[in-house]
Amino acid sequence: MTRRLGVPLRVLDIDDPEQEKLADELVLKHGDFTEDYLIPQVFAEYDDGAVKHIFTGFSEAVDITKARWDDFFVSEFYKRKLI
């Protein structure tokens, strides 16, 4: 996805205390925050500083999360970003 969009990818590892703090701040400000928030959460960060929450995983099953990713890749939002 990042290659197709021509943007860098940043992955935050919540097992690393410094990265966990950054992830917590990002999810608190822009994502689906609860005390035990779900991962993955995916955001688009724009050059002007704006952040858009794109996706939150599902706790029910990996298959459900995969199906929602499949939906995202055919979404109008994603298609517009490829133009």
The pLDDT tens digits of the residues spanning 33-44 come to 988 888 889 998
Domain span at residue 65 reads: 2-82
pLDDT at 78: 85
Pairwise CA distance, residues 52 & 30, whole Å: 7
pLDDT at 66: 92
The pTM of this model reads: 0.76
The share of the chain scoring above pLDDT 90, in percent, equals 45
Geometric angle at alpha carbon 39, from 30 and 77, rounded to 5°: 55
Geometric angle at alpha carbon 40, from 49 and 24, rounded to 5°: 55
| Structural domains counted in the chain | 1
Pairwise CA distance, residues 83 & 79, whole Å: 7
User: pLDDT under 50 in the chain at which residues?
Assistant: none
Buried b (16+ CB within 10 A) or exposed e, 39-53: eebebeeeeeeeeee
